[in-house]
Structure 1
Amino acid sequence: MTDTPQRERLEKPTLIYPFKSAPEPGKVQQIAPGVVWMRMPLPIALDHINVWGLEDDEGWAVVDTGMRTDETLAAWRELFATTTEQRPLTRIFGTHMHPDHIGMAGWLTRKFNCRLWMTRLEYLNCRVLTADTGREAPDDGVAFYRRAGWSEAALENYRARFGNFGKRIHALPESYRRIVDGELIRIGGNTWRVIVGTGHSPEHACLYCAELKLLISGDQVLPRISSNVSIHPTEPDADPMREWLESLAKLKREVPDDVLVLPSHNECFRGLHARLDYLGASQGRTMDRLRKTLKEPRRAVDVFAALFGRAIDESDAGLLNLATGESLACLNYLWHRGEVRRSLDGAGVAWYQMES
């Protein structure tokens, strides 16, 4: 998922939101020639995802799909029934593997006999995670969250919830069309360039059209919230925070500031470079607060207040998972740079402290 607990607020840059309102589920709103904006409902606090339609030679290409829910299915069916141009979907683009983005892709590709276009790591990781449906929680996963400082009650909740990822995703097609960083893709009368970022997910694809001055940013850059950057049990020593910060810099280098940004959540906006600068500066201040907190030994669950400005109730399993993952991403960032040391106690819990 995308949203993280609220961090300390900086003075935000003034972004421009050119549209007064977003389309209702099941409706479309044109934002540029041959480009339409759609919204799908989500059954979580972040209650929507934006979906983009790009006019193609024989119909419409779609970027992202919404989560597999009855409400999303109803919204798609309303779109098919009420859209004035009854033209088929030609291909489905998935920015990345999270269920709110890829959940309906399998259903749509089968309905319209079209291909899923996606980066390799996103497709393969999604297939791996959906294969966990019905499995018991692995010992490695339990040990991972125990190292982070989770209580036995939280660990039991993890065991009960494990394998739910695939329940929000229609089975992906057995084959796909791989897209790669820098690739130029012709969609209808326009050319879109793939710009891959990492950190939020393994190989996240943004799409940039120079002719239309549009950037479909997915979750890589959002106007009002910061993308979750997490460590997961499958790769406990990863450094995704470095990757995410590098991806922000890459977007600033490769995409001009005059684009209209089409994000996966919140509203379309102008002011890309200011937003990228703000996100980087905000993360820098977050890391400074973490360094101060780590003057004394701390577990991952002990640094929530420093990172997010408040405690996290472990009864909110989803939020606890996001907060723990991002706390570990921040701790690993410092650990990889030799700023902190990490040690395990007799109970298998990891403690972090600044190097003297």
Structure 2
Amino acid sequence: MAEPRPGSPEGALYHPLGAALPAPGRTLEVAPGVRWLRMGLPFALNHLNLWLLRDRIDGREGWTVVDCGIDNAATRANWETVFAEELQGLPVLRVVVTHMHPDHIGLAHWLCERWSGDERVAAGPPQGGTSPLGGWRSGEAASLGAHECRLWISATDWNAARVASSSSTGFGGEEAARFFALHGLLDEASLAGVRARAGYYASLVPQVPRRYRRLMDGQVLHIGGQPWHCIAGYGHAPEHIALHAPGLGEHGVLISGDMVLPRISTNVSVIDLEPEANPLPLFLRSVAAMRALPSQTLVLPSHGQPFTGLHTRITQLLQHHEERLAELLQACAEAPLSAAELLPVLFKRPLDLHQTTFAMGEAIAHLHLLAEEGRLQAVTGGDGVRRWGTVHPRTAPG
């Protein structure tokens, strides 16, 4: 997609920072008091955007972190560089997580533990023996007393993360393999790979903080003197929270999380824990509701470049799903097909196992929407595979 130049018409998609990216362990300012950093991911989608917001809580200066990265050595090392080079000698005061997926919540437990208690000792002195608070005088830190760096997240996603991190279901294992087999994924190598992913979520999110502050739709967080409005979104995660600061910058700032991304479409999946779910209408309504924000809002997505042109991108996403639904209907009109048989219709590129599991969930989500609307019906064959065929309207009596 070509990038419009500055001065493009209202609604055009534009990347104000161009191709600039923050270096590992470094940040870029994207709005007053808002800094962008990136963490690597060991997947085809190879990065996550995170945000540092300058903050002040109970007289204490510091930062609010939005999203965390997965829990692995590389992400922790990246954070260590951020602590040393980018925090201006100030502590992390709270951790806001948009939703429960591993790349967003994985290191929340570590960040909260590291920055809780008396900040002079919470992180431990870095090499060289200086305080992690840099220019803070010890008397000032002591006078503020102990501080607990709290996780802020929706209640639904906190509970879902707690369950997922303590179980072997939902993202792999025997139940997931059975679910995918029901929907036509019968290749033994793929099913063996799915079974081997038992405990996959917990490998990326080994712990979830035991205590948290609840985020809800319409709630306002005051961060660094700016009101940030919580916008709940559904379909991608149980209760995703985006953050909108209408007074920041010229047209406001939206931390969109995974709900609105500039180059790829958000994964909307059905998983084995909720096998009859119909998440796609929830997602489409959630995204469409964001049209209430100004089109030229600066959007800070979890993947890809910051951009403006929110309304244009929403239209593109809605059209994308309408096209996919039409393609599925056309394919199923010729003969009933399973979700696995429909993967080449939705995805035109080769898929690895990780991508296949997401693709299966997304295909099933589209099929469930069409079934809910009465345009497809499911039939389970003698081979135990669920296939979907079009519903033909009854011929009116003549």
Q: Is the 1:92–1:117 contact (alpha carbons within 8 Å) kept by the matching residues of 2? A: yes
For the residue of structure 2 that corresponds to 1:37, the secondary structure is strand
Q: Is the 2:170–2:176 contact (alpha carbons within 8 Å) kept by the matching residues of 1? A: no
Aligned to 2:16: 18
Aligned to 1:4: none
**Residues 1:230 and 2:266 aligned together:** no
Taking the aligned partners of 1:83 and 1:340, their CA distance within structure 2 comes to 53
**Residues 1:215 and 2:254 aligned together:** yes
Q: Is the 2:218–2:229 contact (alpha carbons within 8 Å) kept by the matching residues of 1? A: yes
Aligned to 1:3: none
For the residue of structure 1 that corresponds to 2:36, the secondary structure is strand
1:75 aligns with one of 75, 78, 95: 78
Relative CO higher for 1 or 2, CA cutoff 8 Å, sep ≥ 6? Answer: 1
Q: Is the 2:171–2:201 contact (alpha carbons within 8 Å) kept by the matching residues of 1? A: no
Taking the aligned partners of 1:97 and 1:129, their CA distance within structure 2 comes to 9
Count of paired positions: 344
Change (3 A) 1:84 1:200: closer
Taking the aligned partners of 1:281 and 1:65, their CA distance within structure 2 comes to 31
Query: How many Å apart are 1:184 and its aligned residue?
Result: 0.8
Within 5 A, what are the aligned runs for 1:137-216? Answer: 140-151=175-186, 152-212=188-248, 213-216=252-255
Query: How many Å apart are 1:325 and its aligned residue?
Result: 0.5
Q: Is the 1:136–1:159 contact (alpha carbons within 8 Å) kept by the matching residues of 2? A: no
Taking the aligned partners of 2:274 and 2:169, their CA distance within structure 1 comes to 21
Taking the aligned partners of 1:25 and 1:45, their CA distance within structure 2 comes to 18
Aligned to 2:66: 63
Letter in 2 for 1:111: R
Aligned to 1:275: 313
Taking the aligned partners of 2:280 and 2:169, their CA distance within structure 1 comes to 31
Taking the aligned partners of 1:290 and 1:54, their CA distance within structure 2 comes to 43
Q: Percent identity of the aligned residues? A: 39
Aligned to 1:290: 328
Q: Which has the larger radius of gyration?
A: 2
TM-score, length-scaled by structure 1: 0.92
Gaps of 5+ in 1: 1-8
Gaps of 5+ in 2: 5-10, 117-148, 393-398
2:304 aligns with one of 262, 266, 270: 266
Deviation digits for residues 128-159 of structure 1, max 9, x if unmatched? 11111599976543331111111233222211
Change (3 A) 1:146 1:61: same
**Residues 1:347 and 2:383 aligned together:** yes
Name whichever of 12-21 and 289-298 sits farther off: 12-21
**Residues 1:248 and 2:251 aligned together:** no
Query: How many Å apart are 1:249 and its aligned residue?
Result: 1.0
Change (3 A) 1:192 1:84: closer
Deviation digits for residues 190-228 of structure 1, max 9, x if unmatched? 000000001111100000001110000000000011111
Query: How many Å apart are 1:347 and its aligned residue?
Result: 2.7
For the residue of structure 1 that corresponds to 2:377, the secondary structure is strand
Query: How many Å apart are 1:52 and its aligned residue?
Result: 0.4
Pairwise CA RMSD of aligned residues? 2.1
Q: Is the 2:28–2:36 contact (alpha carbons within 8 Å) kept by the matching residues of 1? A: yes
Deviation digits for residues 141-195 of structure 1, max 9, x if unmatched? 3331111111233222211111111111241111110110000111121000000
1:123 aligns with one of 144, 151, 158: 158
Aligned to 2:372: 336
Taking the aligned partners of 1:134 and 1:18, their CA distance within structure 2 comes to 41
For the residue of structure 1 that corresponds to 2:75, the secondary structure is helix
Aligned to 2:167: 132
TM-score, length-scaled by structure 2: 0.83
Name whichever of 117-126 and 75-84 sits farther off: 75-84
Query: How many Å apart are 1:350 and its aligned residue?
Result: 0.2
